[in-house]
């Protein structure tokens, strides 16, 4: 750790020496903590960040030749783009069975929007069992290990806010039956928050720099610096199944998707993504597009209404490929993104309200208007850096039941309804009679554990019931 004078000199050179303004008032432990925090920040890049993202507000410019991204349709017999699902499944299954696949969950969020105190992954989500999200994912990993006879390590990126609570939760539940040595936790990185007028880093307390998480794109660097990438290489892992913590319907490892990623003729095998057809033109999801020969994601807030509403002659949305934050990334590609300056992900700026200490008075300031620039990176910005990035269409009921809000859209209410609907579909595919109301809704609550079945075919082999009683609750 640099001596105080050396650290002060470094801060003076970048115009941030005010961060030590209250050093004389701090206790010895507080002073050491502040120095440690400042040393952990990449001070050398701060002037560039201030110049590019604080002093300048670079407007997002859409490519002039922006077009919808092509994608592999969920129906492999589609006339628009037929493909061999059996071959892709076999390719993906061979990767899983060989121990080449790891799961990676971005789990830095808290459950505050759900009215839940604690990490979001601990939130009770199962529509009958109330299993937490982490347990639902763990069961998917266990079931996949049993099916393919392979170890599937699980890497979980937490945040400074929820790291200890997440680790303790797993210990309390004996890692939900997984081998503890196959579950690795590491913290997401943070970036300093900047005063939007001056570019000065803000102090949250006299001995604490105000910071914010560096976004899900920060997972690239976190995988590297945490040692997770090295651990993957030592295990023989070559592919990372990436998903976020709020979606209980995600296929933690999908052999067909993995096969497309690794074997499709137009895939570089570096990064691939899943998409859903947008429910409406203004659905708040990013959209997969093509910028020349490269796949990219345009955020919904950056997509002009005239493009978002554009339709094909038959009435379907032209830009309909919505991003649902499910990807496969190769270990080699992530290593390149984390190591090669030519492949660094860009930053995105957001203007937010950040409480801070006034440097002149030492008083705490609670701003009434947005006063700060927060920076973050997005993992989907890796797509145009790949030689060939493919997109695979999936079904909304089958794979997307997010828990983001307490009520309304993407809430625990809608997620539980989707859990029941998917379970009903699987049972009906097996010949089970499922009660439905006049409007088609399932007249029951049904939950199927991944340990029972990962798909309708496996459910049929398990011996499902012949019928479900109206109004009943059935957990399989």
Mind giving me the DSSP string for 278-311? Answer: -SSTT-SS-EEEEETTEEEEE-GGGS-HHHHT-B
- What pLDDT is attached to residue 293? 86
Instruction: State yes or no: pLDDT of 2 exceeds 70.
Output: no
What number of CA atoms fall less than 13 Å from residue 162's CA on the CB side?
25
8 A C-beta contact, residue 204 and residue 355:
yes
- What pLDDT is attached to residue 5? 77
Instruction: State yes or no: pLDDT of 336 exceeds 60.
Output: yes
- What pLDDT is attached to residue 58? 61
Separation of alpha carbons 294 and 218, rounded Å = 22
Ordered by start, the domain boundaries in the chain are 59-399, 411-476
- What pLDDT is attached to residue 49? 93
Q: How far is CA 217 from CA 33, 160, 220, 263, 379, in A?
A: 27, 16, 6, 25, 4
Average pLDDT across the chain, whole number: 94
Instruction: State yes or no: pLDDT of 88 exceeds 80.
Output: yes
Separation of alpha carbons 331 and 238, rounded Å = 5
Q: Let me know how many helices (H) and strands (E) the chain has, helices first.
A: 14, 21
Confidence of residue 223 (pLDDT cuts 50, 70, 90): very high
Mean pLDDT of 64-89: 93
At residue 156, φ and ψ (nearest 5 deg) are -125, 120
Q: Which two tokens stand for residue 362?
A: 């030492």
Cβ count near 78 (within 10 Å): 12
Separation of alpha carbons 191 and 222, rounded Å = 13
Radius of gyration of the chain, Cα coordinates, nearest whole angstrom: 24
Four-residue CA torsion sign, 237, 72, 385, 193: negative
261, burial (CB in 10 Å: exposed 0-12, middle 13-18, buried 19+): buried
Please write the tens of the pLDDT for every residue from 166-217: 999 999 999 999 999 999 999 999 999 999 999 999 999 999 999 998 999 9
Q: Which residue has the tokens 């009903």?
A: 424
Q: Choose the CATH number for 59-399 among 3.40.50.2300, 3.40.50.20, 1.10.10.10, 3.90.550.10.
A: 3.90.550.10
Which residues, in sequence order, are bridge partners of residue 201?
194
Q: Which two tokens stand for residue 351?
A: 């203007």
User: Shortest CA distance to 216 belongs to which of 120, 325, 289?
Assistant: 325
- What pLDDT is attached to residue 301? 87
* Percent of the chain at pLDDT exceeding 90: 88
Confidence of residue 259 (pLDDT cuts 50, 70, 90): very high
Separation of alpha carbons 80 and 316, rounded Å = 14
> Which one is predicted more confidently, 104 or 314?
104
User: Shortest CA distance to 160 belongs to which of 88, 110, 122?
Assistant: 110
- What pLDDT is attached to residue 226? 96
Instruction: State yes or no: pLDDT of 79 exceeds 90.
Output: no
Mean pLDDT of 67-94: 94
Separation of alpha carbons 86 and 89, rounded Å = 5
Four-residue CA torsion sign, 306, 293, 93, 98: negative
3-class secondary-structure state, position 163: helix
Which residues, in sequence order, are bridge partners of residue 240?
102, 329
Q: What is the DSSP string of 69-83?
A: PP-B-SSTT-SSS--
Q: What is the DSSP letter of 119?
A: B
- What pLDDT is attached to residue 59? 60
User: Shortest CA distance to 434 belongs to which of 404, 410, 467, 389?
Assistant: 467
Separation of alpha carbons 175 and 166, rounded Å = 11
CA terminus-to-terminus distance, the chain = 55
Q: What is the DSSP letter of 51?
A: I
Please write the tens of the pLDDT for every residue from 121-155: 999 999 999 999 999 999 999 999 999 999 999 99
Instruction: State yes or no: pLDDT of 3 exceeds 80.
Output: no
8 A C-beta contact, residue 268 and residue 386:
yes
Size of the chain in residues? 476
Please write the tens of the pLDDT for every residue from 455-469: 999 999 999 999 999
> Which one is predicted more confidently, 5 or 405?
405
Which residues, in sequence order, are bridge partners of residue 194?
201, 373
- What pLDDT is attached to residue 419? 98
Mean pLDDT of 79-99: 96
3-class secondary-structure state, position 258: helix
411, burial (CB in 10 Å: exposed 0-12, middle 13-18, buried 19+): middle
Q: Which residue has the tokens 């398990």?
A: 462
Burial 344-372 (b: 16+ CB within 10 A, else e): bbebbbeeeebebbeeeeeeeeeeeeebb
8 A C-beta contact, residue 471 and residue 437:
no
Q: How far is CA 193 from CA 161, 227, 346, 376, in A?
A: 16, 26, 17, 10
């Amino acid at each position: 750790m640099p001596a105080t004078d050396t650290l002060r000199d470094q801060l003076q050179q970048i115009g941030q020496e005010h961060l030590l303004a209250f050093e004389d008032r701090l206790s010895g432990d507080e002073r050491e903590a502040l120095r440690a925090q400042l040393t952990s920040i990449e001070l050398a890049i701060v002037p560039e960040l201030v110049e590019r993202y604080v002093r300048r507000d670079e407007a997002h410019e859409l490519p002039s030749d922006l077009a919808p991204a092509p994608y592999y349709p969920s129906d492999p017999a589609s006339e628009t783009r037929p493909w061999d699902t059996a071959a892709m499944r076999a390719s993906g299954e061979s990767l899983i069975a060989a121990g080449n696949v790891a799961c990676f969950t971005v789990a830095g969020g808290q459950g505050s929007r759900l009215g839940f105190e604690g990490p979001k992954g601990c939130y009770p989500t199962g529509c009958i069992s109330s299993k937490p999200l982490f347990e639902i994912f763990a069961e998917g990993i266990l079931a996949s290990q049993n099916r393919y006879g392979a170890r599937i390590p699980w890497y979980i990126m937490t945040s400074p806010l929820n790291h200890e609570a997440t680790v303790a939760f797993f210990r309390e539940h004996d890692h939900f039956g997984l081998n503890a040595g196959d579950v690795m936790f590491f913290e997401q990185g943070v970036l300093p928050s900047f005063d939007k007028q001056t570019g000065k880093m803000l102090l949250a307390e006299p001995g604490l720099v105000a910071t914010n998480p560096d976004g899900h794109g920060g997972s690239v660097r976190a995988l590297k610096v945490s040692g997770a990438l090295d651990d993957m290489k030592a295990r023989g892992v070559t592919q990372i199944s990436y998903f976020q913590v709020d979606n209980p319907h995600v296929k933690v490892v999908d052999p067909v998707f993995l096969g497309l990623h690794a074997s499709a003729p137009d895939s570089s095998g570096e990064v691939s993504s899943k998409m859903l057809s947008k429910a409406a033109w203004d659905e708040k999801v990013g959209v997969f597009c093509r910028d020349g020969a490269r796949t990219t994601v345009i955020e919904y807030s950056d997509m002009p209404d005239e493009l978002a509403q554009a339709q094909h002659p038959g009435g379907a949305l032209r830009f309909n490929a919505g991003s649902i934050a499910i990807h496969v990334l190769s270990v080699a590609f992530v290593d390149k993104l984390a190591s090669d300056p030519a492949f660094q992900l860009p930053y995105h700026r957001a203007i937010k309200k950040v409480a801070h200490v006034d440097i002149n008075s030492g008083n705490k300031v609670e701003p009434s208007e947005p006063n700060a620039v927060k920076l973050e990176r997005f993992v989907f910005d890796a797509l145009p850096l790949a030689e060939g990035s493919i997109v695979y269409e999936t079904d909304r009921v089958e794979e997307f039941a997010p828990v983001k809000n307490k009520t309304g859209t993407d809430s625990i209410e809608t997620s539980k309804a989707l859990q029941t609907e998917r379970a009903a579909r699987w049972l009906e595919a097996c010949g089970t009679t499922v009660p439905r109301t006049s409007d088609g809704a399932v007249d029951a609550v049904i939950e199927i554990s991944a340990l029972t079945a990962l798909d309708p075919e496996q459910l049929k082999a398990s011996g499902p019931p012949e019928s479900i009683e109206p109004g009943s609750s059935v957990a399989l």
